[in-house]
């Protein structure tokens, strides 16, 4: 076997892997859940600019023209809340991460007790479908700022 053939073998294997996985990736991307044009997610509390004493507080989440359903429930016109803390919205069409900056409320919660360290923080709500993927188009609130003392 020549050196060119030895170098080409891994490249050919990679090309076959891409060809095999491409239809699955395309099918997954095509399954983004549509959202109603008039759907809206918003903060009931806290309000933008709120000063919060102590680190623990309740976040109350509102939703218009859609329903709330737990993760795993595939029902048209529904989703569940995610709270984005001190971060940007995740890329469209991909599952919402689950970490300290992306809080999931997959049981269908519309309020939650949150604890943040002292300082200024940004909060934003994002609705996810049964698989934690944002709808198309994404349903998100405006980003608000709170200060924890």
CA distance 132 to 112: 18
Token pair listed for 137: 């188009």
User: Given the DSSP bridges, would you call strands 56-64 and 40-45 parallel, antiparallel or unpaired?
Assistant: antiparallel
Q: Which neighbouring-strand residues pair with 36?
A: none
Q: Taking phi first (over 0 means left), then psi (-120 to 50 degrees means alpha), and beta for anything else, what does residue 65 get?
A: left
| Domain identity same for 83 and 128 | yes
| Domain identity same for 115 and 72 | yes
Q: Provide the whole-model pTM.
A: 0.79
CATH number at residue 113: 2.60.40.10
Q: Is residue 58 part of a domain?
A: yes
From first to last of its 149 residues, what are the pLDDT tens digits of the chain? 665 555 555 544 444 444 445 444 444 444 789 999 899 999 999 999 999 999 999 999 999 999 999 999 999 999 999 999 999 999 988 999 999 999 999 999 999 999 999 999 999 999 999 999 999 999 999 999 999 99
Total structural domains within the chain:
2
């Amino acid at each position: 076997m020549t050196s060119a053939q030895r170098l080409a073998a891994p490249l050919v294997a990679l090309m076959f892997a891409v060809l095999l996985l491409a239809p699955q990736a395309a099918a997954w991307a095509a399954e983004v859940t549509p959202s109603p044009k008039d759907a809206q997610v918003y903060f009931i509390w806290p309000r933008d600019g709120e000063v919060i004493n102590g680190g623990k507080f309740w976040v109350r989440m509102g939703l218009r023209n859609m329903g709330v359903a737990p993760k795993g429930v595939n029902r048209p016109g529904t989703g569940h809340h995610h709270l984005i803390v001190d971060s940007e919205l995740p890329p469209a069409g991909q599952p919402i991460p689950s970490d300290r900056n992306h809080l999931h409320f997959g049981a269908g919660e519309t309020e939650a007790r949150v604890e943040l360290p002292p300082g200024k923080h940004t909060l934003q709500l994002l609705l996810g479908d049964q698989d934690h993927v944002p709808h198309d188009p994404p349903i998100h609130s405006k980003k608000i700022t709170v200060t924890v003392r």
